[in-house]
Structure 1
Amino acid sequence: MRSFSGRQVLSDISLTVPQGHITCLLGPSGCGKSTLLRLIAGVDRPDGGRIELNGEPIADDGIFVQPENRHIGFMFQDYALFPHLSVRDNLAFGLKHLDRAARAQRIDEIAGRIGITALLPRFPHSLSGGEQQRVALARALAPQPGILLMDEPFSNLDRGLRERVRRDTTELLHQLGTTAIIVTHDPEEALAIGDMIVLMRDGKIEQQGTPFDIYDRPRSAYAAEFMGPCNRLVGIWRHGEIETPIGRFAGTLDLPEGSPALACIRPQALSVEADGAGISARIVSKTFIGESEQIEVSVHPLFKPLRMHSHERIPMGVGEKVSLRLNGAQIHIFEDGALPLAASEGVRAGPPRS
């Protein structure tokens, strides 16, 4: 647990990080993920609870192991390289316990693994963003920590560079068998690099599991919508299905008959074809985004258009009537009210037609 000025920032956190894997703490700003990282690192103290490393307590009642004695590496969002030290001396900073020969050997070894040997004589101000990121990673890994903590390590990089550095970093951590916890607010990034994802909300864990668990089997509308865009349709729960204006969809809810329920429909669950059989709809917008088209279609009696993604070129233009089809693969059913409407960009529907 952790509170600031009487406000509970973390509560009811129960988490086991698998050894040799990458765990992503995911969530919006202010959800507590960076605070949790700081508690693990020891740069902040919990108000209650217990933190263990390899089965030994490092924070508990009457126990608090100082950060320098936890054998934990920490890579900051801004990299925090010492500007007055060369890259070699930055890497040497955490190796003062080694003699000179062992220190030099370790620096050369980690620099070679990360591919920064040519940068060792240079100073941080002369490095690009990607080079600074790799130096910061090397400095964090040089002492061979038992666990590596990384706070938004790729957020300062441009998109193309970020994807390449992220891929290289992930491959290196897996090659080294490093146990890592990475904080990110980007669900796409978490899905790409995490062996396990811990989705946080308001200081608590909303859901944790593999990327496939979180994306394919979300346990709440919050989880479904955070991991990717959804169309939201409110309907009525009857006979194990939700009835909506565009069809009935089976679920596993334990709700009284006639209760309101919520269907979260991913854009890729929708497709359109020439007007004919299917649900009558009309294209209201088409946006070309390179690898796919984002299309919005209006369907009576929905108050807002449905959004779909297509990797095929749709010949029908804006204003044309089409038939809407659903593949059913990416439709998630929840109790209505699982997520406040103010947090949604989806669809509110009228009552089902008889």
Structure 2
Amino acid sequence: MSQTQPPALQLERISRRFGSHAVLSDITLSVPPGRITCLLGESGCGKSTLLRLIAGIDRPDGGTIDLGGRRIVGPGRFTEPEARRIGFMFQDYALFPHLSVEENLAFGLQKLSRDAQRACTAEIAQRIGITHLLGRYPHSLSGGEQQRTALARALAPQPEILLMDEPFSNLDQGLRERVRRETLEILRQLGTTAILVTHDPQEALAVGDLIVLMRQGRIEQVGTPFDIYDRPHSSYAAEFMGPCNRLAGIWHQGQIETPIGRFATDLCLPDGTAALACIRPQALSIAPDGGGISARIVSKTFLGESEQIEISVHPLFEPLRMHSHERIPMAVGDKVGLLLNGAQIHVFEQSQAE
């Protein structure tokens, strides 16, 4: 985003309380135009509440919201949802069952003439690839067809921003991946600014140009998928984005000393500081020549494209988990040599690790 180009959406110190419970606290966020931003977090972290505040379905208790450089929420200012030019695609799609697909698409175009409505619905149906569905009703559509219809209806009024609340969660795994891929292609072709809510880190990594990881009503970290996965700011972020082996250690002369070895990172801590190493399962591998750290295989789980292996290493109480895309010929109970790839080891100060 250039310095002269304003963000598509700017949130400043947004807060929301329900009774004594702070659902959102001090949320400040810039959403880049023409990109897909993912709000990621576990259930109850506030991501769907934040989406409703942006849409105008709910009002914040404090803070401001600017859309395309104009203030829509702030002290003495609240722009009604219908005047915001924000599209909203609900988790259950919320298609009107008594209206045809064409009538659903035209629902947000009531201010246009009948001819203009028909032209708009025909254009968006052609772009989304649902022209053949225009005369049908929601009950006769498959899950993927309902999802595409809901997407077309949200895009028909040409919103400045499209909000999507868990839009693929109602689809089974195979269909979910295909529909998600098709949806992303459409949004990128149209240059749509979109904010998508998900609880699935793998979906966020696959979808988002920008990921906003939320935790207990606050933003834990903001970054690109590579930033947030490869350079997590906290042990929470590291473990939320993917499984980790946790090893306690002591920081000494630029390295963390653990029971199974010393690892260098770019972290800077005083010598003697208690630290925590989060080691990705893919950072572990079996030494082909039996070298490395002495270990023993305690379990193997075949996952199709990969194998999950648990390895016991003295003096650790808990086995280490590793993932391998290669077939490991050793059996449960066999002794092996374990190697570690330091690039997938994240170190944090123990007092800040939760």
Q: Same fold (TM over 0.5)?
A: yes
Is the Cα–Cα contact under 8 Å of residues 22 and 179 in structure 1 kept in the other structure?
yes
Shift of 1:274: 5.1
**Residue 186 of structure 1: aligned partner:** 200
Mapping of residues 13-52 of structure 1, within 5 Å: 13-52=27-66
Q: How high is the sequence identity, in percent, across the aligned residues?
A: 75
SS at 1:261's partner residue? strand
Separation in 2 of the partners of 1:252 and 1:108?
55
SS at 1:280's partner residue? strand
Is the Cα–Cα contact under 8 Å of residues 264 and 342 in structure 2 kept in the other structure?
no
Mapping of residues 312-323 of structure 1, within 5 Å: 312-323=326-337
**Residue 249 of structure 2: aligned partner:** 235
Is the Cα–Cα contact under 8 Å of residues 274 and 321 in structure 1 kept in the other structure?
no
- Which of 231, 235, 244 is residue 217 of structure 1 equivalent to? 231
Is the Cα–Cα contact under 8 Å of residues 274 and 316 in structure 1 kept in the other structure?
no
**Residue 115 of structure 1: aligned partner:** 129
Long gaps (5+) in structure 2: 1-14
Shift of 1:257: 1.6
- Which of 161, 168, 181 is residue 182 of structure 2 equivalent to? 168
Separation in 2 of the partners of 1:104 and 1:339?
56
Separation in 1 of the partners of 2:185 and 2:338?
41
SS at 2:326's partner residue? coil
Separation in 1 of the partners of 2:290 and 2:69?
63
Shift of 1:131: 0.7
**Residue 7 of structure 2: aligned partner:** none
**Residue 76 of structure 1: aligned partner:** 90
The answer to whether the aligner puts 1:65 opposite 2:66 as a matched pair is: no
- Which of 161, 186, 201 is residue 147 of structure 1 equivalent to? 161
Is the Cα–Cα contact under 8 Å of residues 230 and 264 in structure 1 kept in the other structure?
yes
SS at 1:50's partner residue? strand
Q: What TM-score comes out, normalization by structure 1 length?
A: 0.95
Report the count of equivalent residues. Answer: 340
The amino acid that maps onto 1:306 is: L
**Residue 281 of structure 1: aligned partner:** 295
Separation in 2 of the partners of 1:252 and 1:195?
26
* Partner deviation per Cα, 1:246-287 (whole Å, 9 max, x = no partner): 111113334332121000000110001357321000000111
**Residue 12 of structure 1: aligned partner:** 26
Separation in 2 of the partners of 1:27 and 1:316?
38
Separation in 2 of the partners of 1:115 and 1:337?
53
Is the Cα–Cα contact under 8 Å of residues 232 and 263 in structure 1 kept in the other structure?
yes
Separation in 1 of the partners of 2:167 and 2:20?
30
Is the Cα–Cα contact under 8 Å of residues 72 and 84 in structure 2 kept in the other structure?
yes
Shift of 1:170: 0.5
Shift of 1:337: 4.1
SS at 2:30's partner residue? coil
**Residue 348 of structure 1: aligned partner:** none
- Looking at secondary structure, tell me which structure has more strand per residue: 2
- Cα RMSD, aligned residues only: 1.0
The amino acid that maps onto 1:165 is: V
SS at 2:342's partner residue? coil
